[in-house]
């Protein structure tokens, strides 16, 4: 898999520098909110645009989908379900 070279990549919106950061993202579907925290991403220091490593965005979407399924099974509608990626 190709890796982003942070030193060479810059923001496609404003040309700003990208910085490695751990971010949180919320997803909402049919009134169910799921939150993923601790996702490694590259964030533009100027405009806060978020970039994922190649394939990363798909994995985040997959994780969110899994959480939505879990929320529905657990009948957690109207509640917030969050998942956090922690260091082992």
Of 7, 29, 43, 37, the residue nearest 76 (C-alpha): 29
What is d(CA 40, CA 33) in angstroms, rounded to the nearest whole number? Answer: 20
Asked if 81 contacts 70 with a C-beta cutoff of 8 angstroms, the reply is yes
CB of 50 to Zn ion, least distance (A): 10
Residue 7 vs 88, nearer CB to Zn ion: 7
Site membership for Zn ion, residue 9 (CB under 5 A): no
Q: What residues between 44 and 83 interact with Zn ion by CB under 5 A?
A: 44, 46-47, 49
Asked if 60 contacts 37 with a C-beta cutoff of 8 angstroms, the reply is no
HSE at residue 74, side-chain half, CA atoms within 13 A, is: 13
The span of 4-12, 30-38, 55-63, 76-84 binding Zn ion (CB under 5 A) equals: 4-12
CB of 26 to Zn ion, least distance (A): 21
Which residues in this chain contact Zn ion in the complex, by CB under 5 A? 11, 13-14, 16, 44, 46-47, 49
């Amino acid at each position: 898999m190709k890796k982003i070279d942070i030193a060479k990549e810059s923001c496609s919106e404003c040309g700003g520098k990208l910085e490695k950061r751990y971010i949180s993202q919320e997803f909402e579907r049919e009134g169910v909110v799921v939150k993923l925290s601790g996702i490694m991403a590259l964030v533009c220091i100027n405009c806060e645009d978020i970039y994922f490593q190649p394939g990363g965005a798909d994995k985040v979407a997959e994780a969110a989908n899994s959480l939505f399924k879990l929320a529905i099974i657990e009948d957690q509608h109207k509640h917030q379900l969050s998942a956090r990626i922690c260091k082992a």
